[in-house]
Structure 1
């Protein structure tokens, strides 16, 4: 049996398969990068060399490059996972062709297969897909999401498709090294959600057994932290909080213009909307027109993705430093600033509070005091943020926090579970 662990994430996707007594990550080679973690996004371009209605499709960094190089011609989709559980989402039009969620997941998976080349296992008999504790979106329908997953993956002929909660998979990956039976808290920090699971792990006759006790979470994670930096470091430099005059009245520049920074690709979409034309008309009326001119230039030159790269670099540096340089040349003199970790932690404090509230609710559901949690596993890129780690250190003590493989643990845990005879005890 060869099982494929499929961690289809909001921001990044990782695949893992069994390799001897351990697991390996699949490597993806596109025209833009070689990586074990593929950005979850797609680009669609008309290509006359393909003929007819055929489209040139890329994923990951190659899709981002295509979008940046062809902003007016390329259709770009990211955060595809957020549509999975939405009954309201039926399809989207891509270059005059309708695509359902199942179509998009199939297309993305086919690009992964192509990018992995000979590294794709030829004898996959089971695919184990991760699922969040709570799918993103209002009125999210988990059963609908998993049915859409099944439909898309069935098109590849996989004999067996199973689902395991993402924090459970991460816990299983870490639990291989547990020395004794214990209650484990897993905190999985993705791009859009933070998921908690409390699981009882025991070794019986040499095999790991697990009993899920409680699950919880909140729709806040790394993407929101990025937005907090932009909202406090960048937006004030391009007009947020400023004023303009209209018929003798002094009015504040609408803050909704700056909400587009919540997703970097929204800036390119923004320039096609009426709101952008309204923004440009405010330049002549603004008290500080140079700031709004700078905002307009960022949008017209499609600087959204480079901006997010600069923000991510700063956030990453703040994980190990008390202060970090933010540098973004398109902002001119406003694009050089030292960001202090203390300021960053102030900006994200309301988000950390909501994460802690969800943690309290999960412990209450488990009817478990903190003292009975034997180990805490933190997974996902946001787990490196000191304010996040400090929350768990304060609640559980540094000695109970374990890590390693934070970015790959879910996919590898899924692959390991997929090889087990008792997989029915793990699926959800």
Structure 2
């Protein structure tokens, strides 16, 4: 290997972020980060802000599990931001209003990386020779602008290493999976994160080959775990907050604009609703609404910064439905209490449209690669949403249960990116 110094593989995820260090051709090591209850290789992609006159600028911040801990201690006096990777390619997102400050995507990203570095136990104190950053095949959002996302990523990651390279996230996972194989194979890698579902078809050569992995084709879609969360909120929560109800405008009765509910059900935008303009608009709607109490509950949830408890309740429901046929949903706060029994069959009905679009994206990945389903030897599933039974069923029905492999759902991408970073020439993988 020609690289001088360590190589960092960085999986900056919508929900979680993971880093791995490789050196001198050795197997990369995952970095464990400080956490309130120990150390963990998985660092939550979240930020929390609060006023503190003792720090420069008067606003203190934390990231990862520390952000969650700070939020839980002082929820109403803090601002909790999560899933902000989802707005990387959004031209409509300009800045996040954090108290009296306005932060761009790259400002949030650099702050997050600084906090991540500070919690690495010194493992990230020195700049690595190379940094290989994972990026989705298709960014999240209705009209994602990949060029804009690249500009923002460049600004976010500038200065953390001598060289910055971008590699599709499923290719990183493929490289990690290749280290487990002892014979050649054509592999479909399916990476399901919080914001995107990405697919790469890769031909893996026998161990010792000059070029172990050859990417054949890729496809992606901005649908994944956060969209499934959206479906749950849409069914169980938004009806209690006034969705579908009306307000009076002069002598007309109009439906309350759906954009407020779309923002509320999106983790990357919910926290950003707590700004002067949006809150004034909601208060005006509440005064003229046919069901003012419902809009009042929405205002209270936003003002009391209850996004994380809501996120946690939705996550618990999804996890329970991944292991059982039915589960109970519970959320309480801001004068709102929701109790609902949900079956796996109901949940799968809610996400049926999303599953169909994911299925079509698998078709597209195979077509781009020029490979038929019969020519795929193995399917490697990674990412937290890959644990959803209906997602796994897409591949079991197409390729057979015996062809499916998994493991390292949250860490395989970073591990593979660090392996790629140790190659002499990254041109074959960089995008």
User: What is the TM-score when the length of structure 1 is the normalising length?
Assistant: 0.86
> Which runs of structure 2 are paired with 1:302-381 in the superposition (5 Å)?
302-330=305-333, 335-381=338-384
State the partner residue of 1:42: 47
Find out whether 1:116 has 2:120 as its counterpart.
Answer: yes
State the partner residue of 2:284: 278
Contact 1:189 1:221 in 2 (8 A): yes
Partner secondary structure for residue 339 of structure 1: strand
Find out whether 1:395 has 2:395 as its counterpart.
Answer: no
C-alpha displacement of 1:307: 1.1
Partner secondary structure for residue 161 of structure 1: strand
**Mean CA deviation greater in 102-111 or 144-153:** 144-153
Contact 2:297 2:334 in 1 (8 A): yes
> Which runs of structure 2 are paired with 1:162-181 in the superposition (5 Å)?
162-181=165-184
Q: Which whole-Å deviations, capped at 9, do the CAs of 1:238-271 have from their partners, x for residues lacking one?
A: 4434567788977655544422332347455445
Partner secondary structure for residue 335 of structure 1: strand
Q: Which whole-Å deviations, capped at 9, do the CAs of 1:391-422 have from their partners, x for residues lacking one?
A: 11111111111100011110111112222334
Change (3 A) 1:248 1:132: closer
Contact 1:67 1:74 in 2 (8 A): yes
Q: Which whole-Å deviations, capped at 9, do the CAs of 1:282-315 have from their partners, x for residues lacking one?
A: 46x33xx665554444344332221110011000
> Which runs of structure 2 are paired with 1:174-253 in the superposition (5 Å)?
174-203=177-206, 205-206=208-209, 209-242=212-245
**Mean CA deviation greater in 325-334 or 302-311:** 325-334
Q: Distance in 2 between matches of 1:108 and 1:292?
A: 33
Q: Distance in 2 between matches of 1:138 and 1:256?
A: 13
Q: Distance in 2 between matches of 1:279 and 1:338?
A: 31
Question: Structure 2 regions of 5+ residues with no counterpart?
Answer: none
Contact 1:32 1:65 in 2 (8 A): no
Partner secondary structure for residue 319 of structure 1: helix
Partner secondary structure for residue 116 of structure 1: coil
Find out whether 1:260 has 2:263 as its counterpart.
Answer: yes
Change (3 A) 1:21 1:227: same
Contact 1:265 1:305 in 2 (8 A): no
Change (3 A) 1:103 1:328: closer
State the partner residue of 1:134: 138
Change (3 A) 1:91 1:204: same
C-alpha displacement of 1:29: 2.0
Question: Structure 1 regions of 5+ residues with no counterpart?
Answer: none
Q: Which whole-Å deviations, capped at 9, do the CAs of 1:42-95 have from their partners, x for residues lacking one?
A: 3444432135x3642211233345556667765554434344445676666766
C-alpha displacement of 1:145: 3.9
Partner secondary structure for residue 186 of structure 1: strand
Change (3 A) 1:347 1:121: same
Find out whether 1:24 has 2:44 as its counterpart.
Answer: no
Contact 1:32 1:61 in 2 (8 A): no
Change (3 A) 1:229 1:145: closer
Find out whether 1:61 has 2:65 as its counterpart.
Answer: yes
**Mean CA deviation greater in 191-200 or 138-147:** 138-147
Contact 1:71 1:268 in 2 (8 A): no
**Mean CA deviation greater in 414-423 or 118-127:** 118-127
Q: Distance in 1 between matches of 2:138 and 2:372?
A: 23
Change (3 A) 1:223 1:138: closer
